[in-house]
Structure 1
Amino acid sequence: MEEISVITAVHHPLRRRIVDHLLLHETAQVGGLARALGAQVGSISHHLRMLQRAEVVEQVEDPAGDRRTSWWRLIRRSLSWSSSDFADSPADAYLAREAQRLNVRHQLERLQQWNRVSPSTDVEAFATDTLAWATPEELLDLSRRLSETLDEWRASIDRTDGQQRMPVFFFAHGFPTEV
């Protein structure tokens, strides 16, 4: 079960963008993050410290050995939680639901952004969904399997092969429903 402090740390809008940037670029310098995200260096530093306290990021050595710059990388590549994980604490359950709401909003905003630009590109995207019967344990198993598949797929990409790549965003939700 995720700690509520980790969930709430990641789901601040700017911190989520920092996590996404580090997920793609592996490491980044504070000034580079500020330029890429259109934010002030001081703000980026503050949010990195918040993510560091939640053990989501860590400071790393400058690849060039310059000790005057601050470089960061992700420690955690994914989070998984349900508001029901926090049934013993109504306040934490509320925060978990709010984080879920912000997460879905973030995902839908990315999808809407893609739909606005997709007519002007020849890049194909995909959508997938299904409906099945499952116990809560089977639904959790599906979540684990999808995470493992995504981790394997991400690790299989050779970013040194000279091919041009673009950032790709994937999201899926699995939940009980009515027919």
Structure 2
Amino acid sequence: MWTWWGARSVDGMEPIEAITAVHHPVRRRMCDYLGLHGATQVTTLARALDQQVGSISHHLRILARAGRVERVEDPTGDRRTSWWQLARQGMSWSAEDFPDSPADALLAREAERANVRTHVDRLRAWHHRTGSTPEWNRAAFSIDWLAWATPEELAALSEAMRETFAAWQAGIDTDDGAERRPVFVFGHGFPTAP
């Protein structure tokens, strides 16, 4: 599985083409799907996202040019089908990564906004859900807190949260037969006033 996009650069500067490629709504959903399911055939991806095969192929080419996805061998050996997977997990950036290009900084800020819209839209969809089960209602959570920190301390908290999530994910035995659903976890840390 994986970590996901966050508006804080920690692993070096992402190319603006990769940032903008991912933050198209369909391409974001495609990356999410590939992150959860691994290598997937184009037709399966189109059906799962309720899109046309031609549209999915177009978006895959854009993501491939940006280095976000890559074509892989068909696991059945059938060379007539097209299979794709994520090229690498996660992505982080900041508009401040582009001090010499106001245009790229503007694109990075818009990607940050698109990322937040995705978070809020998913939360809104959860709250407007129908037919949810009590165990999922009890397991879902919301957490926030207010504290004092320096920029370095806030960056350290971000890294600690990534490590905690990775350890939690690595500890899940996916072969135990339990029914699992995709879950979305997000958090934001930023300066504010009470």
TM over 0.5: yes
SS at match of 1:15: helix
Q: Which residue of 2 aligns with 1:128?
A: 143
Q: Once structures 1 and 2 are overlaid, which stretch shifts more, 133-142 or 162-171?
A: 133-142
1:62 partnered with 2:38: no
Q: Which moved more, 1:147-156 or 1:103-112?
A: 147-156
Relative contact order, higher structure (CA 8 A, sep 6+): 2
Q: Name the residue aligned to 1:85.
A: 97
Aligned length: 179
Aligned to 1:164: 179
Which residue is 1:147 aligned to?
Answer: 162
- What's the CA shift for 1:148? 2.0
- Tell me the residue number matched to 2:21: 9
Deviation at 1:121, TM superposition (A): 2.2
What amino acid is aligned across from residue 156 of structure 1 in structure 2?
Answer: G
Query: How much does 1:155 deviate?
Result: 2.3
Name the TM-score, length of structure 2 as normaliser: 0.87
Which residue, out of 30, 33, 39, partners 1:27? 39
What residue in structure 1 maps to residue 52 of structure 2? 40
TM-aligned CA deviation for residue 127 of structure 1: 0.7
> Which ranges in structure 2 are unaligned for 5 or more consecutive residues?
1-12
What root-mean-square deviation, in Å, do the aligned CA atoms of Structure 1 and Structure 2 show?
1.4
* C-alpha deviation, 1:37, in angstroms: 0.4
Q: For each residue in 1:126-174, what CA deviation from the matched residue of structure 2 results, as whole angstroms up to 9, or x when unmatched?
A: 0111111222122222222212222222222222211110010011111
Tell me the distance in 1 between the aligned counterparts of 2:192 and 2:101. Answer: 25
**Percent pairwise identity:** 61
Q: 1:114 aligns with which of 112, 121, 126?
A: 126
